[in-house]
Structure formats: structure tokens, C-alpha cells
Structure 1
Amino acid sequence: MLKTSRPLLLLGSLLVCSLAHAQIFQRELGDFDLKLGTNPTRSMAQGLVKPSAVGSFHGGLDLTHDSGFYVGQWSPSMGISPGKHLEVDSYAGFKHPFDQTLGYEVGVIHYRYPEVDTLDSHELFGGLTLLGSRFGAAFSNDPDKQNGTLFADLGGNQPFGIGVSLKYTTHQLNTPVAVDGGYVGSFTDWSLKLSRPFMGIDLDLIYSDSSLSGSNCSAYSGHNSQCDGLVTLKAERSFY
């Protein structure tokens, strides 16, 4: 598994920042393709990993061989902004297209938090690409629970230019959490995201919810930012 220190990740981010109006810096190195960017370059892996709040400074690198094998790192937070901690997600995998309409991808991701007292975790993922849409699944063994995720990104069919992605995850707690009236040993959460670019701005409308409600939400530790149903409108513009 690729392990890189913060200086290298910062270097990658600075290289990207120096390229005006570009989010991905790409260069061929023999049989390898190197990418540095402020956006995740692995769509399948980044679609399946557990989401985390992206900081003001983020970036990563990706090295792919012509055979389909790849390794890389993505840091959703460099730990520079107040209240943010450095997170380094290292991954390795294999991607292979059968033809122009169908392909598959499998891999593993290692999550590391160097600045906080949190155990590392791993996630296995795999999926199919069909006519431009992605369907996948992942399993992670976190220090406090096990997670199983189903994921779909219907990028191959975008009515009115609107992208649609869905995620459904089951969480099995290692130790049940006491709540009013009993214990919570497992729960599920899900999200639906509608995306559309508008005048250089990426607009996202997200609905998220979980199987917990009321006082049981004290046991929630899932993917969503809130236990109960939540509608979020997000607008983001990249300046480099």
C-alpha cells in the first residue's frame, strides 16, 4: 500500500494550484499514467468510500499502469483549516474494460488519520461500469463497526443534464449503544444526490436519512451528517 507523508501530498496540491483553470495535472511516464489533482481521479473508489467533510485544502495523486493496475492517495483534508485533521486515504486496485460498454473494477482502500488517536481502517470495493453508469459495493471493518454499502451512479443516463447517484449502507456496531428504552446494535442510512453544472457552478441537491429517529439518534455514527431526514443544497465553484 502506498504511504506518503504530508509534504508530498502538499506538493501535489501546490502543483495543481499552479495550473490555472485545471483540476487535474496528467503526465505519461513510460507505461504509467500519473495524475495530480484537487478532484478524486478514481470515480469508482471515491464513489464508494465513506464520505468525509472536504477541507479547504485537499488533493491527491494516482498512478496507473497500462495493464489496469493502479495505486494512489487522496486526502479529503490536509489538516490546515481550523478544526480539520489530516486524513490520508491510500488505495490500490485493478480496472478492466470488457468493451466500450462494460467493465469492472476491484480494489482496497486504507484510511489513516496521523494527527488523531484513531485506529486505521480498510475498505474492500468492487463494481461494474455499464453504458457510462457505475454500480458497486463495498465492505469496511472500522474500529467500532462493520459497514456494507451499495452504490449507483447513473451517469450514463442524465435526463435534462441532471446526474443521479444513490447510496445505501448497513452498519453493524461491535458494541450496542444504550438508548432510551433499550439498545441499538445496527442501523441503516441512505442518500440520494441530484447534480447539475450551472454557469461554472456545480449544484448538488442531496436528501439523506436513516433508520433511526428521535432519542435513538444518539447511537448514530453513519455516513450522513445528520441522523434524521435532511435536504441539503450545495453550490461549489472550482477556481483552479
Structure 2
Amino acid sequence: MLKTCTLLVSALLASPFVQAQVFQRELGDFDLKLGTTPSRSMAQGLVQPTSPGSNSFHGGLDLSHASGLYFGQFSPSMGISPTHKLEVDSYLGFKRPFDQSLGYELGMIHYSYPKLSPLDSQALYGGLTLLGNRFGVSLGNDPDRQESTLFADLGGTQPFGVGVSMKYTTHQLGSPVSVEDGSIRSFSDWSVKLSRPWRGIDLDLIYSDSSLSGSECSAYSGHNSQCDGLLTLKAERSFY
């Protein structure tokens, strides 16, 4: 049962100035991509650069080889405005299919904050594609915590044309956080997303929650926008 249920409806109208732009060309055996959005989702969607804010300047490059090797950098924020700190995500990985129905991916990513160097972190990730469904796991090491994440995207199944993806993360804190009834050393959070296109509009229904509640939420610092249960309806359409 939802601890707190909030319904958020947002329509995002893309213009030529905010629409994702990607430049691509071949360099021998390499494929180069330059763009304003991440050109790939690490570990089949498991580890992904932070979603860029609508008012931040962002971009990056991705270089992949025919053998399956790839590397690149992406900056979710160039740090131009005072509210957005400079962040540079560098990654290296290997992605290869066994056949048309089965493939795998392994790699590592480093999150760097040049103006906040103590906050640098890194993660190892692995992904598996099976009949169009994607599964992944990552192990992250931040300065103040360790994180383990499981991810599943059932895009190959899609009952009634609805896409389903799920993420579950455990957070082990480096130092306990004091709360009203004691201290918090670890917690977990999760999310489930249902997606379906409708008349040119991308509809997402997302439910997120965590293992913390009440006064414990003062220690929450996970992936979700809030500690308690949150139900979000998102509608997005691009006119260009």
C-alpha cells in the first residue's frame, strides 16, 4: 500500500532547440557518435548517466569498434549555471551477441566531478539480452557508500503492448546516519515503470518506494525522487 501517493502529469513539448541531436560517422572500423544525449545506456539500461536537466548544457561522444569494444564520455552538466555542477562520466565496455536472441555486455564507468573531486565514484556492470528482454547488475563504489543494483527490462515480452522495467538497489552507507529512533546503516529502494505509446505520445507510469519510512526518511539519499511511495504519470511528445 502506498505510504504517500502523488500523481504527477507532465507534458514535455520538444522543440528544435531541446530535441536530442546526434551526429554519427564511420572512422575505419570505428563508429563515432557525438550527441546531446547519452548514445547508449550502460549494461543494457542499468547504469545510465544522470538525466540532463532541461536548463543545463550537456553532451558527449561514443566510439565503438566492430569487435564489440566501446568507450566514451558524457557530461550530463557542463557546470555553466551555478545550480548545475560540472560532471564527466567516462566508460569502457565490451558488448557482443552470441546469436540473434542472446547477447552480453561487461564494462566499467567512472563518474567525475572536477570541481568536487572527493565525490568521484565508479561502477562495474554486466548485462544480458535474452529474446529482446534485458537484465543487468552493477556494483558501485562511492566515497560514502557502496551500491548493488539489479535491473530488468521486459521489452521483448510487452503484454498488451505495455513495456515493463524494474530496478532494485541496496545502499550500504560508509557511516551510519542518526535518525529519531536510532541510526541507519543501509537501506534499499526500487522502482517499476510501465510504458506505452499512444497517438504519438509516450506514456510512462512509474511507481517508486524504499525500505525507509517515517522519521527514517531523513536518512534517505537513494535513486528515487523521494523516500515514500510515489506514483508518477508522465506524458511526452516531440513535435519535431
Q: Which amino acid aligns with 1:193?
A: K
SS at match of 2:207: strand
Higher helix proportion (structure 1 or 2): 1
**In 2: Cα distance, 1:220 partner to 1:51 partner:** 21
Hey, what does 1:184 align to over in structure 2? 184
User: Residues 184 and 51 from structure 1, CA distance in 2 versus in 1: closer, same or farther, beyond 3 angstroms?
Assistant: farther
Higher relative contact order (CA 8 A, sep 6+): 2
* Deviation at residue 67 of structure 1 after TM alignment: 0.8
Paired residue secondary structure (1:88): strand
Retained in 1: the 8 A contact 2:44–2:136? no
Other-structure match for 1:13: none
Deviation per CA, 1:131-188, whole angstroms, max 9, x where unpaired? 1111010000101100000000111112233221100000001111111111110000
How many angstroms does 1:61 deviate by?
A: 1.5
Partner in structure 1 of residue 68 of structure 2 = 68
Please give the secondary structure, in 1, of the residue aligned with 2:119: coil
- 5+ residue gaps, structure 2: 1-14
- Partner secondary structure for residue 40 of structure 1: coil
Distance (whole Å) between structure 1 residues aligned to residue 124 and residue 208 of structure 2? 23
Structure 2 residue 166 is matched with structure 1 residue 166: yes
Q: 1:46 to 1:87 in 2, by over 3 A?
A: farther
CA distance in 2, matches of 1:68, 1:192: 30
Superposed CA offset, 1:44-100 (max 9, x none): 447222663521233322100111100012222333456222221110000111000
Tell me the amino acid that sits aligned with residue 138 of structure 1. Answer: S
Query: Aligned equivalents of 1:136 and 1:84: distance in 2?
Result: 29
| Contact 1:147–1:169 (8 Å) recurs in 2 | yes
Do 1:44 and 1:134's aligned partners in 2 also have CA atoms closer than 8 Å? no
CA shift digits 1:107-150 (9 cap, x unpaired): 00000122346421000000101111110100001011000000
AA partner of residue 67 (structure 1): S
Give the AA of the match of 1:141. N
Give the match for residue 30 of structure 1: 28
**Paired letter, 1:181:** D
**2 CA distance for matches of 1:46 and 1:81?**
31
The answer to whether the 8 A contact 1:55-1:79 is kept is no
Q: 1:117 to 1:64 in 2, by over 3 A?
A: closer
SS of the residue corresponding to residue 63 of structure 1 reads: strand
In structure 1, what is the Cα distance between the partners aligned to 2:239 and 2:83?
23
After TM superposition, give the deviation of residue 42 of structure 1 in Å: 1.9
> Residue 223 of structure 1 aligns with which residue?
223
Say if 1:205 and 1:115 are closer, same or farther in 2 by CA, change over 3 A.
Answer: farther
Structure 1 runs of 4+ aligned residues shifted over 6 Å read 17-22
List alignment gaps of at least 5 residues for structure 1.
Answer: 1-16
Aligned pairs, number: 224
